[in-house]
Structure 1
Amino acid sequence: MAPEYAMHGQFSVKSDVFSFGVLILEIISGQKNTSFFLSEHVDNLNSYAWRHWENGTILGLIDPTLKEYYSTSEMRRCIHIGLLCIQEDVAKRPTMATVVHMLNRDSVQIPLPSTPAFFVNRVQSINNSTADSINEVSMTGLYPR
């Protein structure tokens, strides 16, 4: 769900672009954004993809089961476009027409993405002794079913 819709109830055609970007990253990584958990240093798929982008290890985002079935340049382009689609600033997200144009043409210059929406820049330690509730009255454990 696009951040402007989740936080303020504002919906636009760029909200669909955000969802498309998340979908691209889910397909490439083999992970769902809603149940993402690969490291204690990231909280969601957007953060995970952005850290790979910043560290220059973007191919580390790719699902290992796809290893022999993809072109490296095409995968880089898809991840790049996915990151453009999930930018926090609505005005910086491309339109779907632009996304289709970028996906179909190798020679198109693709702008660099900025920090995605819901990027979490913190290190979080998750273990059984850590309380997730600030008021210490109730405790919520974050464990998958």
Structure 2
Amino acid sequence: MKLSYLDFCPSLNNIIATGKSIDQNNNTIPVSGLSSINNIKVLREIILAKRPQKTLEIGLAYGGSALTILASLQEIHKDNNFLHTAIDPFQKKSWKNSALAVLDAENLSQRFRFIEDFYYLSLPQIVKSQ
């Protein structure tokens, strides 16, 4: 079932409607866990209201939250002056780079930084670099 609320991001709408996504080799894979529709709505509304330029996400999985964040940031920052960072040490091993593949497919990876590490190791470095 397609949800018109998710028209801002066709890939996310498709993942939710079909329960399937793609992996790093463009193979179709079942999606066993994704942010709830309510979480996606809340996340999008926060982004639209607060208009941040930098966002950070711990854990990436199938990319539902990252799709929401990046599509929303792209919508409000027409100058592309934004950056979303996600940290996930298991994106390749456990999730077959599904989130990275779907972000590429949606053309949202240009303003996205992926860190394949544990958050407790990466966060101090991110803070230090600011």
> TM-score normalised by the shorter chain: which range applies?
under 0.3
Structure number with higher strand proportion: 2
